[in-house]
Amino acid sequence: MKKRSFLLFGLALSLTFCHDEASDSIIGTWQTDKVNVQFDEQRNTPALVKQIGEMEKQNSIVVSADSTLTFNGLYGGTNGRLHLTKEGTMLVDGVTFGQWKEGQIVTQTDSPLGKVVVTYRKK
């Protein structure tokens, strides 16, 4: 009986030390830090580029301890189950959401107008 208790204690202790720090450090509220609007300047006005940038600054991301990611943007929000790969790719319900590296979340949206890259930092 003592042997079994010692084995269970050892297993619990090893699971504690194998805790994934990356998953913990992504938990929290993230605010827009930088917006890089990469639109073709020949086809879009500077006013449109500025407006898109200002709209993106309103976005936020909340990552909960239960692996739920909630994205709040100007036109509403969405949420789903987050999976973080070893490479830092963030998948929400199996779809690529962004990249997590060096303490930042980076998302990219491609459209016929161009590309918008948003960097988030933890609040």
Task: Encode pLDDT of 77-102 as tens digits.
Answer: 999 999 999 999 999 999 999 999 99
CATH topology classification for 25-122: Lipocalin (2.40.128)
CA distance 72 to 18: 32
CA distance 93 to 103: 22
- Residue 36: what pLDDT? 96
Which are the contacts of 35, defined by CB distance < 8 A and separation ≥ 6? 53, 56, 57, 116, 117, 118, 119
Low-confidence ranges of the chain (pLDDT < 50): 1-20
User: Residue 61 forms beta bridges with which residues?
Assistant: 30, 71
Q: Report pTM.
A: 0.78
As separate numbers, helices (DSSP H) first and strands (DSSP E) second, the chain gives 3, 8
CA distance 83 to 90: 6
Domain edges within the chain: 25-122
* C-alpha 16: how far from chain center: 25
